[in-house]
Amino acid sequence: MKIEHTTVMIDKSLDEAIMNYELTTKKENIIEYLINEHWSSREKSKFLISRIRNDSSKYLFGKNNKNEGFYLVWNNNAVRDLTKDIYQDIIKEGKDFNLSTKYHIFGTGMLISRKNITFYKTENDVV
């Protein structure tokens, strides 16, 4: 009986590990798409996004040569709407990395508007 319980726990842990890997992979695929495929060649040369990989960043994924941050509104395995609370988190992440106060934000919708935001509407199935 105890062995069965241990087996179930191992299976559950493995399932959780696989699910976490799949979520991370999905987010990374979306970010790679945004960096490599979103703009035309002419626009890409203007942006030159450098990838930022940091576990403490929930939204920040890159910056350009003007030190402007690029953010993906990601939550619960999906791209989400930009809200005031998420915008506040994005501001904090930008400050933590000493980035400009000009924000390039990708999300499904924009529920707030600010002059310093360039918003890119993105669907969950971009990849």
Identify residue 13 by its one-letter amino acid code: S
pTM more than 0.85: no
pLDDT by 10s per residue, the chain, length 127: 444 444 444 444 444 544 444 546 778 888 887 777 655 555 555 667 888 888 788 999 999 999 999 999 988 778 899 999 999 999 999 999 999 999 999 999 999 989 999 999 987 665 4
- Strand-pair category, 69-72 with 103-107: parallel
**Spans of all domains in the chain:** 2-121
Identify residue 70 by its one-letter amino acid code: F
Beta-carbon contacts of residue 94 (< 8 Å; ≥ 6 apart): 60, 69, 100, 101, 103
Neighbours of 57 (CB within 10 A): 18
Q: Residue 82's beta-bridge partner residues? A: 110
